[in-house]
Amino acid sequence: MKAVLSLLCGSLVIAASGAAHAQAPAAGPASAGAFPNKMVRIVVPFPPGGSTDVLARKLADAMTQDFGQSVIVENRPGAGGTVGSAFVARAPADGYTLLMGVTGSHAVSYSLYAKPSYDPVKDFAAISMIVNSPLMLVRNANVPARTVPEYVTYAKSRLAQVTYGSPGNGTSMHLTGEMFALATGAQLLHVPYKGSAPALNDLLGGQLDSMFGDLLVVQQFVKSGKIQAIAVTSQQRHPMFPDVPTVAESGVPGFEALSWQGLFAPAGTPPEVVAALNAEVTKVLDRPDMKAFFSSQGFIVTPSSPDAFKTFVAAEVKKWAAIVKAAGVPVE
């Protein structure tokens, strides 16, 4: 178990407006003129309005300005991000259909299905990581635990009756709770919801004890005092909440669980197209206005090379598989 916990508590980079739909562009060689020479679409595998959608639209606007070609966002939600991801995996490998992949779609999901619809490493060309952000362990005011040790003690005393909510089974928020329980011995009861909003509503109403929430989702309620922060899941404190300690510094050394988002193309996309897209993403993320925007949303900008991103995703798949196995999460 010690070996498993060591793996689980290692560096785990665990997570707008109406959708703009467009007909899939006809497949054609990417070398027919300078890239891009027609519209590019970024598929978001979730409904409009979430953090991935907001990020993708901001990125698409900036890329449109630079490319002189329209870069649009198309929402294809379903099955925890796997529907949209599978669609892009089967798209023409010409660089004109991209995917905003996340921890759930490209690290967690592969271990949750007996017959996954795609391989997150082999079926995609990694372009760049875009951002990451910690999750925040939050509680309602009725839970008498201000720190991680107090929360663990309270959970143990309640014999698996302390609840934590998530946007659904198999999400990074769910598995972060499983990782936390494995690392601390806390007995927690997972309550899955259909999205973060209903979980947050029950937390605010006192029907739910706690949750590991996206910073973008919970930050305004923490700042207003409607819910209380216990800790963040990054190795370092978050600049937006410098007074909130990390889980790692609160008695669980090495604990890290970050929600990440990155850009992918279908496998087989020409290397020169991947390089062009990587250069564009790096350029956009270096702009002061973009950094300021993402910072205001709780994101930390983390561009990377294609090779580094691919290596990272492969490591994530293995780490999440260990969590799923150790926690006994059912495989569909």
Contact residues for 150 (Cβ-Cβ < 8 A; gap 6+): 144
Please confirm whether the linkage preceding 198 is cis (ω < 30° from 0): no
Q: What pLDDT score does 33 carry?
A: 62
- CA nearest to 109, candidates 19, 45, 61, 39: 45
CA dist list (Å): 170 to 89, 233, 325: 21, 18, 12
For 2-26, the DSSP string reads HHHHHHHTSEE----------PPPP
Rounded Cα–Cα distance for residues 123 and 130 (Å):
19
Q: What is the mean pLDDT, run by run of 10 residues, along the chain of 332 residues?
A: 45 38 39 82 90 93 97 92 96 98 92 92 98 96 96 94 90 92 95 89 97 91 97 95 97 93 98 98 96 90 97 93 88 78
Q: What pLDDT score does 24 carry?
A: 39
Rounded Cα–Cα distance for residues 44 and 60 (Å):
11
Query: Structure tokens of 27?
Result: 């497949």
Rounded Cα–Cα distance for residues 190 and 169 (Å):
9
What totals of helices (H) and strands (E) does the chain contain, helices first? 11, 11
